[in-house]
Chain A
Amino acid sequence: MRRELPLAICFIMGLIMTVQFFVPHHYSQWLFDNMLKWLIIVLTFAMILGIGNLVKLHLQKVQHRRRDWLYSIVALFGVTASLVTGFGWGIEADSPFMVLYNYVQIPMQATMFSLLAFYIASAAFRTFRARTVEATLLLVAAVIVMLGRVPLEGIVGRWLPDLAEWILDYPNMAAKRGIMIGIGLGAISTALKIILGIERSWLGGGD
Chain B
Amino acid sequence: MNELYWRIFLNFSFFIIMLFIAGFYCILVTRNLIRVMIGLELLIKAVTLFLVVACYVSGQAALGQALIITLIVMEVVMIAVLAGVVLSIYRHNNSLDARRLRELKG
A, B assembled together: no
**Which residues of A are at the interface with B, using a C-beta cutoff of 8 A?**
none
**Which residues of B are at the interface with A, using a C-beta cutoff of 8 A?**
none
